[in-house]
Amino acid sequence: MVTENRSPANRSSFSSESGWEILRIACAEARIDCTGAKLIRLGENALFHVPNAAVVVRIARSGYGSDARKEVNVSHWLTEREFPAAELYDVDQPITVDSYPVTFWKFIDGRPGSKQDIAALGGVLRRLHETKPPSDFELPHANILGRVRPRIEVAPIPKADRNFLLERLDELESKLPDLRFRLKPGPIHGDAHIKNLMIQDGQAVVIDFERFAWWQPEWDLAMTATEHLTAGWWSADEYHRFVDAYGYDVTSWEDGFDVLRSISELNMTTWLMQNADESAEIAAEYQVRMRTLRGEPSPGWRAF
């Protein structure tokens, strides 16, 4: 791993502005010309496309170096298993700029997953959950609430919201150990939504290995179910196509699904909350999601 000690401006917050400076430092270290780079997305990470090198640069938030190293290991493992997944760019990595881990990926010349690909998501998740685990490293046990508390503690939100979210977190943490799962544990993606698929030459390619873990397949399936039932992003017909492709409907798990759905809702809200200062649209959507968490009927959530 290469470590770079120069500090980006505005270290106290992770923003599009600080992301650009981290990009320039990391690309200089990797000897990549980042002229013409474009910001793809700012969320848990900042993703940049550098067309000069046909590379995607992924900048994680401070303190997640172990996850970046895991991503590198997962990529090697999936390549060995001939699983359709993003491939590493040929450079020594991850690079650390101050405390921000940076990884480099071959650009996938395709399109992002969309509503028409919901069955492909179900199919690729089934294949992933049945994939033989790695032999040269261990996938960590999933900690599906692990990022929520740090997000809440530093987010630009009112104190009343912070207290409510922390109480909800405590409640769900207390319920999680009592769940009795129906499926066998195995490799999981951990953030299994449609935007973590790319479609290249008609084939679904999995991206974003940050949350890969060894745990329950129900967690990956609960993401799409929550997007259907709470966010309203999938119609009943689309959700059934996902279920048919996978072969199991997690919503039929009557004594456990509601807990995973609530955890998904909390994760989705606190993920968005991190960037509430980035735009008025994100701030407004955060309020919509908070009203849903407080028990108001969901009018549907907007995707970012």
Q: What is the mean pLDDT of residues 134-163?
A: 95
The CATH number for 35's domain is: 3.30.200.20
The count of domains in the chain is 2
Asked if residue 283 and residue 174 are part of one domain, the reply reads: yes
Condensed to tens digits (0 to 9), the pLDDT of residues 191-246 reads: 999 999 999 999 999 999 999 999 999 999 999 999 999 999 999 999 999 999 99
Asked if residue 212 and residue 74 are part of one domain, the reply reads: no
Which of 70, 90, 107 is the last residue before a domain boundary? 107
Task: State how far the alpha carbon of 149 is from the alpha carbons of 21, 39, 104, 169, in Å.
Answer: 27, 27, 28, 8
Q: Is the pLDDT confidence value at 2 over 90?
A: no
Asked if residue 217 and residue 164 are part of one domain, the reply reads: yes
Enclosing domain of residue 47: 7-107
Asked if residue 143 and residue 276 are part of one domain, the reply reads: yes
Asked if residue 85 and residue 126 are part of one domain, the reply reads: no
* Within a domain: 301: no
Give the pLDDT band of residue 4 (cuts 50, 70, 90). Answer: very low
Instruction: Check if the beta carbon of residue 144 is closer than 8 Å to that of residue 263.
Output: yes
Asked if residue 276 and residue 197 are part of one domain, the reply reads: yes
Asked if residue 92 and residue 207 are part of one domain, the reply reads: no
Give the pLDDT band of residue 14 (cuts 50, 70, 90). Answer: confident
Asked if residue 119 and residue 101 are part of one domain, the reply reads: no
CA nearest 73: which of 96, 32, 103?
Answer: 103
pLDDT of residue 278: 85
Asked if residue 33 and residue 17 are part of one domain, the reply reads: yes
Q: What is the mean pLDDT of residues 84-108?
A: 97
pLDDT of residue 63: 85
Which of 63, 81, 107 is the last residue before a domain boundary? 107
pLDDT of residue 16: 83
Asked if residue 278 and residue 161 are part of one domain, the reply reads: yes
Asked if residue 125 and residue 47 are part of one domain, the reply reads: no
Q: What is the mean pLDDT of residues 279-288?
A: 96
The CATH number for 236's domain is: 3.90.1200.10
Asked if residue 258 and residue 175 are part of one domain, the reply reads: yes
Which of 83, 107, 131 is the last residue before a domain boundary? 107
Condensed to tens digits (0 to 9), the pLDDT of residues 56-71 reads: 999 999 888 999 999 9
pLDDT of residue 5: 42
* Within a domain: 140: yes
Instruction: Check if the beta carbon of residue 199 is closer than 8 Å to that of residue 115.
Output: no
161 phi/psi in degrees, rounded to 5: -65, -45
Q: Is the pLDDT confidence value at 15 over 90?
A: no
